Amino acid sequence: MDGRDQRFGDWMDQHLTVLVRISRAFAAPADQPDLLQDLMLAVWKAAPSFRGDSAPATFIHRVAHNRAISWRRRESLRLWRTGVVQAEWARLITPAEDPARTDQLERLYAAIRRLRPLDRSLVVLSLEGMTHRQIGELHGLTEGAVGVRLLRARKALAAAIEEDRDGL
């Protein structure tokens, strides 16, 4: 196993959660395994460029959000598509013990998917606990601009949730 594979393996053990969440936030349910596979491939490709001056989680967020924002469904029909994730997806997503929580989470993801890609990214990064500064560095925006856009994105999210007849 070479250095890249070793690093990728270690990262996925600890941070695959991030990629799964981004897949659920950016792709329609049927396409989520394809996006996850694309994100994993993007991280594997980027692994040798990691400089170590930030936490791996920050780096993975950066690579994955860059990929997710430009992703679209049919891209995964490329030759490289393996179907590995497709086979494991059902076992990967474990429902919460409380079915109501699972339902709420699904509705939250559905609401996030209704936002524009940039707003989706801002909301997900914020939910992942990243600071405005970190989000700004990723998106090339000032902290102030992130604050303003995030506020607007949260309002849009709230509206999207409200649109759902039953709400959360």
Partner 1 sequence: MDFETLQQLWDGAGNRPDPETTRQLTETMMHDLKTRRRRLALFVAALALGLTAWTGIAAYGLAMQPGGLDLSREGGAVLLLALSWIALAVVELWRRRHGAAHADPYATAPATLRALMDENAMARRRVKFMAVMVGLGLVAVSATLVQAEAAGRMTWDNVASAGLVMGLVLALVWGAILLNYFRRLRPEAGRLRERLNDYDVG
Nearer to partner 1, 30 or 71 (CB): 71
Find where tokens 């405005």 sit. Answer: 132
Inter-residue contact 31 to 76 (CB < 8 Å): yes
Contact yes or no for 125/110 (Cβ under 8 A): no
Interface with partner 1 (CB under 8 A), residue from 92, 110, 114, 143: 92
Contacts of 53 (CB under 8 A, 6+ apart): none
User: Minimal distance in Å, beta carbon 71 to partner 1?
Assistant: 10
List the one residue from 3, 30, 52, 97 that touches partner 1 (CB under 8 A). Answer: 97
Q: Which of 16, 29, 56, 114 binds partner 1 (CB under 8 A)?
A: 16
35 contacts 27 by C-beta, under 8 angstroms: yes
Amino acid at 132: H
Q: With binding defined as CB under 8 A, does residue 22 bind partner 1? A: no
Interface mask (CB under 8 A) for partner 1, residues 125-144, using x and -? --xx--------xxxxx---
Reported as type and span, the H/E element at residue 40 is: helix 32-46
CB-based contacts of 44: which residues, under 8 Å, 6+ apart?
Answer: 4, 8
Residues 26-65 that bind partner 1 (CB under 8 A): 37, 40-42, 44-51, 59, 62-63, 65
Residues 17 and 167: their CA atoms lie apart, in Å, by 26
In the numeric block, the tokens 């690093």 are attached to 7
Chain residues binding partner 1 by CB under 8 A are: 1, 5, 8-9, 12-13, 16-17, 20-21, 37, 40-42, 44-51, 59, 62-63, 65-66, 69-70, 72, 74, 80, 82, 84-85, 88, 91-98, 101-102, 104-105, 108, 116-118, 121, 127-128, 137-141, 148-149, 152, 154, 157-158, 161-162, 167-168
